[in-house]
Every structure is written in C-alpha cells, then in structure tokens.
Structure 1
C-alpha cells in the first residue's frame, strides 16, 4: 500500500519541487502532531489562519452544531441563513459606521477580486493602483494588483489598468488621479517581509483618494482579526478605508473571506447588471458559524489586548548575533538574517527540532513569525529557545 507521502507526490498538484512534506494527523492549540506523535509548534498559524489556535473548542462546537442543521442550501445572497447574518452583524460591530455591508466569500483572493470589481463599478473608472511588493492573492485580478513581477511575468497578459507605486513613498501619491478607481494597499505588507505603513503615509493616501474621488481599499487578509494588537490593523491609524478585505484568521481554521464597504457603495452590485458579484459557496454556513465563534473568542478572550506583550517577549527572547533586525506590528513579525542561504538551514533545523516557521515570498532573508494569538508566554520562550538552538547548530 502506498503511503500518504507517496500519494501526496503522485496525485496532488505540487506548488514547488521542495514541499515541506510534514505529515500531520492531529492539531490542537499551537501544536501539530505527526503519525509518530512528534509535536510541532506552529509559529506561522498556517500562514495567519489559526489565530485562535488549531481546533479551538468553541470553533469546533459551532461548526458541529451547524452541521446538524444544514450545510449548503443556495448560492450566496438568496436565502436568509442565520450563520451568515449573525456573522455579518458581529463583524460590523467591530468596524466604523461606514463599513456596514459585508459580502461573504471563500478566500482572500476572492475578497480582493470582489473589492476591485466593486471599486470599478462604483466609480466608473478603469485604473487600480497598488504597491510594489504587494501580495493580494493568486487569481488573475488579485495577481494583477500584486506588486512582484517574478510571480506575474509568466501569466501575462493580466488584467489591464493596473500600476504600482513604492510603499510608504509620499511623492508617488501624485499618481492617484481622476482615472483611479481605487488604491489597494496592505495596511502591513506581509509577503514583502512585514513593512508597516507609516501614519503620515496612510493619512496622505486617504487624503489624496478623497481629493480625486478614488476609493481606498485596505487589505487586511493577514493583518485583520487581532493579529496586530487591534482587531483591525487600520485602527492603529486615524484612517478609515472605503473597502476592507478580510480572510485567513477570520475563519478560525475554516475557509471564508469578505469584502466590506458601505451599503451605498455595495448596493451598486445589485443592478446594471444584477448579480454583479456571484459566489456559490461564499459564506458557507459551516464556515460562517466557525467564523462567528472565532470572532467571539478573539474579543471575549481579549486576544488583541495580549498581542503587544507577547510580541515584546518574542523580541526579548530572540537575541542572537545572526539576527540582524526584527520588524513587526504586533504578532506579524519578520526576523531578518543576512541572506536566504543563512536563513534556510535555520528554518530546516528548527522544523527538525519541532518548530515550524517560514520565509516570505518577496523577502527570503527573513523568518516569518505569526503564531496563534493564544500562544502563552511559556510557549513563546520554548519556541524561541528552539529557534536559537537551530541558529547555533547550523551557523558558525
């Protein structure tokens, strides 16, 4: 009989020639377990997904309870489904008053696609502006908004009307003009290696959008739902977007995303044409129920309020001559080394020692740290000790 590892290689489409190939049979809290019972500390939360930990009991209970009622009933937007409407209500309570209309989708990429379509439809304008080294997803529209040519060049032609400006560059904001439907930015650039927007920059983007009538879309697919120490990362700034997109940590481990705007803006999807954005599985009732539980856990367990202290502990513990810099906003962290050639053996050895980290798509000399927000101080110290051990063992 073929092993799961061989079946993985034989029948699942591969994304690289070097997958991690860790086989996991169970996960709980910050830990994942292989078939031999070896525990791995998950310091990347499945890339920002398991913010309340793997299989949080309230998330599991909510999903099971919904399974006993119904699963898919109808394409999104036709039937009144309790998990969807309760989740939408709960999300709006975390947001400014102008962000009161939630369109539930399946993923971050789809949320970005919906947001870009919405901006074009509302403004009647053709142009989208985004940032160099932005990552907004892998579908054609989201990839067009992405800002790294290496990941785009072999898929051209992409969606026309996209251009890119340097992140945190004030002078480049002059490119926002009366043909700009929207500026889409990550409040914290994730795959660029945790590049945090400055207060002055984000305020200037907001003002320029207001001046020319463009919409501001903030991508909080990685940064939202408590990751930075606020429920939404833009709460660190005196700036409110016209559209915000969310996914990843939103689902408590289940697939879900959303693009969120005002009723006035969102209503343009209802006509000319009707069904301006369609999704069959968006807001799936089981995912929506899990997402509501994850939101409630995040708020009721005061997870965002604990983030700053936990991030400070990581920075205190991770001191080593090989570590050149630590960039972060909350528990969205990049631990920078001299090069990928230095970093990769450290990551590999850390996995052998039982700690899973990663690097960034557009910043391969920095280690990604984005643990479940539920991680304890003792677990942080244990994980950091193993990372330091890995550094010592593989570097001179």
Structure 2
C-alpha cells in the first residue's frame, strides 16, 4: 500500500520540485504536530493566515455550529445569509464611512481580481498601476500586477495596460495620471521582504490619486487583522484607501477574502451588465461564521494591542553579527542574511529543530517571521533561541 507521502507526490499537483513533505496530524495554538507527535512551532502562521493560532476554540465552535445550521445555499448576493450579514456589519463598523460595503470572495487573489474590475467599472479607465516587487496573487489578473518577469513570462500574454512604480519613490508618482483607474499598493510590502511604506509617501500617493481621480487600493491581505499592530495597517498611517483588500487572517483558518469599498462604488456591479461580478462560493456561510468569530475575538481580547510589544521583543532578542538587517512592522518581520544559500540553510535547520519559517518570493536572502498574534513571551524566547543557535552553526 502506498504511503500518504507517495500518494501526495503522485496525485496532488506540486508547486515546486522540492516540497517540504512534512506530514501533520493536528494543530493547536502556535504548534503543529506531525504523525509522530513531534511539535513544530508555526512561526509563519500558515503564511499570515492563523492570526489567532490554529484551531482557536471560538473559531472551531463557530464552524461547527454553522455547519450544523446550513452551508452553501446559493451564489453570493442572492440570499440574506446571517453569517455574511453579521460579518459585514461588524467589519464595516471598524472602518471609515467610505468603506461600508463588503464583497466576500474565497481568497486574496480573488479580492484583487474583483477590485481590478471594480476600479475599471467605477472610473471607466483602463490603466492600473502597481508597485515593483509587489505580490498580489497568482491568478492571471493578479499576476499581471507583478513586475518580475521571471514569474510572468511563461504565462504571457497577461493583462494589458498595467504599469509599475517604485515603492516609496516620490518621483514615480507622476506616472499616475487621469488615465489611471487605480493604484494597487501594499502598505507594507510582504514578499519584498517586509518593506514598510514611508508615512509621507502614502500621504503624497493619496493626494496624487485625489488629484487625478484615481482609486487608491490598499492590499492588506497580509497586513490586515492586527498583523502590524493596528487592526488595519492604513490606520497606522491615517491614510484611507478607496478600496481595501483582505484575506488570509480574516477567516481564522477558513478560506475567505473580501474587497471593500463604498456602497456607491459597489452598486456599479448591479447593472450594465447585471451580475457584474459573481462568485459561487464567495462568502460561504461557514467561512463567514469563522470570520465573525475571529474578528469578535480580536476585538474582545485586545489581542492587537499586544502585537507591537511582541514584535519589539523579537527584535531585541534577534541580534547576531551574521544578521545584515532586521525589518519589522508589528509581527511582520524579516531577517536578512548575505545570500539565499545561507538563509535557506538556516531555515532548513530551524525546521529540523521544530521551528517553521520561510523565505520571501522577491527577497530570498531574508528569513520570514510572522507568528500567530497569540504567541507568548516564552514562545518568542524559545523561537529566537532556536534561530540564533542555527545562525551560529553556519559560521
């Protein structure tokens, strides 16, 4: 009989020629346990997903209760479904008045795709601008926003009328014109290796978009739901977007994304043509129930208030002469080394030692740290000791 490993390699589509091939049986909090009960600390929260940790009881109970009540009923937008209504109501209550209408989808990439369509529909324009070294997803529209040819060339032709500006470069703002439908930007570039936007840059970007009638889209798929020490990163900058993108951490481990804008903007999808954007499983009631439990927990337990202190503790502990730089925004962190070979060796050793970390798509010489927001001081110290031990070991 074939093992799960063999079946995985035979029947599950692969995304690289060297998958980690770790096989897990259960997870709780910041820990994942393999089939031999070896614990692994998930120091990347499933790549920004498990902000409340794995299997948070509030989320698990919400999923169970909703699954027993009803699951899929109809394509998104036709029926009044309580989990969708409750989540949209609580979510928009945390947002400025111009972000009062949610469109729930299944993932971050879908949120990007919907926002691209919305921007074109609202403005009647064709050009979309994104930043170099950004990552907005792998579907064809989202991939078109990426600047790196390596990831795009073999999938050409992609969408036309996509242009790029340099992140934090004031001079490039002149590329935004009255022909530009939208600018997509991460307030902290994630896959570029944790690069926070400058305060005055985002202010200038907002001003330029106002002047040209361009919609400003904040991709907070990684930064949202407390990751940077605010519920939403735009609150840290006090710069309000026209469209907000969320996914990853908002479902507590269940698949869900959202693009959020004004009701006026969203209503453009209702006519000319009717059903301007549709999704079968978007806003799935079980995912929305999980999302509602996640948001309620974040708000009631003041978890976001602990993020900056925890991030600062990581930064204070991770000191080593082999570390070139340490970049951070809340609990989004990057440790930069001389090269990918060094970084990959440290990552592999950490995983062998039961601490899961990773590298970045556009910055492969930097090690990713983005743990569940519930991580404790003791767990932070434990993780840092493991990382430092293996930095030492490669001298």
Q: Distance in 2 between matches of 1:52 and 1:287?
A: 15
Q: Distance in 1 between matches of 2:273 and 2:307?
A: 44
Match in the other structure for 2:8:
8
What does residue range 7-46 of structure 1 map to in structure 2 within 5 Å? 7-46=7-46
Q: Distance in 2 between matches of 1:390 and 1:21?
A: 21
Match in the other structure for 2:193:
193
Match in the other structure for 1:102:
102
Partner SS state of residue 163, structure 2: strand
Shift of 1:322: 1.1
- CA shift digits 1:101-154 (9 cap, x unpaired): 000000000000000100000000000000000100000100111222211111
What does residue range 79-228 of structure 1 map to in structure 2 within 5 Å? 79-228=79-228
Partner SS state of residue 109, structure 1: helix
Q: Distance in 2 between matches of 1:238 and 1:64?
A: 38
Q: Distance in 2 between matches of 1:20 and 1:164?
A: 33
Partner SS state of residue 372, structure 1: coil
Partner SS state of residue 259, structure 1: strand
Partner SS state of residue 35, structure 2: coil
- CA shift digits 1:273-299 (9 cap, x unpaired): 011000000000000000100111111
Q: Distance in 2 between matches of 1:237 and 1:300?
A: 24
Q: Distance in 1 between matches of 2:148 and 2:293?
A: 35
Match in the other structure for 1:257:
257
Match in the other structure for 1:72:
72
Match in the other structure for 1:379:
379
Match in the other structure for 1:322:
322
2:298 aligned with 1:269: no
Which runs of no fewer than 5 residues in structure 2 stay unpaired?
none
Match in the other structure for 1:368:
368
Which runs of no fewer than 5 residues in structure 1 stay unpaired?
none
- When normalised by structure 2's length, the TM-score is 0.99
Match in the other structure for 2:340:
340
Q: Distance in 1 between matches of 2:387 and 2:296?
A: 32
Shift of 1:388: 1.0
Q: Distance in 2 between matches of 1:167 and 1:284?
A: 35
Q: In the comparison of the two structures, how many residue pairs are matched?
A: 395
Q: Distance in 2 between matches of 1:96 and 1:106?
A: 24
Match in the other structure for 1:230:
230
Shift of 1:238: 2.2
Q: Distance in 2 between matches of 1:87 and 1:211?
A: 34
